[in-house]
Amino acid sequence: MGELNKEVVDLVWKRPGSNGVSASLFRRWTQGLVFSETEHTALEQFEGGPCAVIAPIQVWTSPQTSAMSLEVLSKRIVKSLSELREEVVSLYETWKGRCGVLFFLYSVILTKGIVNIRNEIEDTTEPLVDPVYGHGSQSLVNLLVTGHAVSNVWDGDRECSGMKLHGIHNQTSVGFLTLMESLRYCKVGAFLKSPKFPIWILGSETHLSVFFAKEMCLVAPESPSEQARRVFQTFDPEDNGFIPDSLLEEVMKALDLVSEPEYYVSLMKSKLDPEGLGIVLLAPFLLEFFPDQDTGIPDSFPVYHYNGLKQSNHNERVEYVQGTALVLGLEDPMVRTDDTPVKRCLQTKWPYIELLWNTDRSPSLN
């Protein structure tokens, strides 16, 4: 098992030719899976770093140490789900112990297979944990959320300078949204934005938290207007909120709208761009073709947010923060809540969402 252990450690911690992470950074990851005393189903995170493991696990619950010394790893094979359940329960005290988070991570890696993970990671020289800041990589987050250690969050694969860049290929069970999209550093695809269950991991610049609701209608199949928004945005990769009018015909064809170019398309160009600016805005486009479209989402519904860091919670008590979400229409909303990172992150999924929290302050993404 010695060589296998070294491969696991190298995959998680080491760049080729480096000595891996510092002992102080590694210590931030040496914590168990410990539940909050004030919220018995909420996991606590003691220091920055292991949220890349703790947040995905949370989704399914509602002296110096060197990384090279973990020689206690052993491989056990189970043949059924019931055997797996028994094995996990039998190791409950181990999961709670000092290295519980790491044992869980290493178990996932060994289950998936080191070769399989390396084949999915875009840059095989980069470890799953950043050796400078200790943050989990997007590949690590994707591995724990989707089962695939791909490095990107868009739908499907893309070609770039002759290279195939891998993304997400199927609808995921739980979702992922990131503040980085609101800052236009990336674009999360529909497979992660619209998961099977109304649970989303939220990413900030440095941390991961969890947003969830009990309304299954939030993850119902796309309405025609939601499909139209998604298709329109594929022709607007910069997320400007408009397309050149020369692309209108292609958008209409993609949505099976009448697209006879000699008359109807030119008529729509004139109607949607009356000032002759040469662009078509998203909002007028949706209002023209999908007026009064009912998405099936209630006007308001309860929502919850989880952040495992004590210092990010009121009175340092790790608890779920409850609030009410209002999803409004394309018109200017009558209710305006404050502009917070949580709200900006959620607006990448629901552009007109407003949030009313039951606490004096908005929950923190960091």
Beta-carbon contacts of 161 under 8 Å, excluding residues fewer than 6 positions away, are none
CA-to-CA dists, residue 102 to 50, 105, 153, 305, angstroms: 9, 5, 24, 25
Q: Please count the CA atoms within 13 angstroms of the CA of 193 that sit on its side-chain side.
A: 21
From the list 113, 189, 193, 127, the residue with the least C-alpha distance to 157 is 189
- Measured distance CA(208)–CA(206) in Å, rounded: 7
- The residue from 135, 148, 166, 207 that is catalytic is 207
Tokens of 144: 């724990």
Tokens of 155: 């739908």
Beta-carbon contacts of 11 under 8 Å, excluding residues fewer than 6 positions away, are 109, 114, 117, 118, 127, 128
Q: Burial, 117: exposed, middle or buried (Cβ in 10 Å; 0-12, 13-18, 19+)?
A: buried
CA-to-CA dists, residue 107 to 21, 76, 113, 345, angstroms: 20, 10, 10, 31
Q: What are the backbone dihedrals phi and psi of residue 213, each rounded to the nearest 5 degrees, phi first?
A: -140, 170
Query: Which uninterrupted H or E stretch holds 302?
Result: strand 300-306
Q: Is 160 helix (H, G, I), strand (E, B) or coil?
A: strand
- The residue from 51, 99, 166, 305 that is catalytic is 51
| Residue linked to tokens 């799953």 | 128
Q: Is 217 a catalytic residue?
A: no
Within 10 Å of residue 121's Cβ, how many Cβ atoms?
22
- Torsion sign over Cα 322, 327, 328, 332: positive
Tokens of 287: 């209002």
Q: Is 207 a catalytic residue?
A: yes
Active site residues: 51, 207
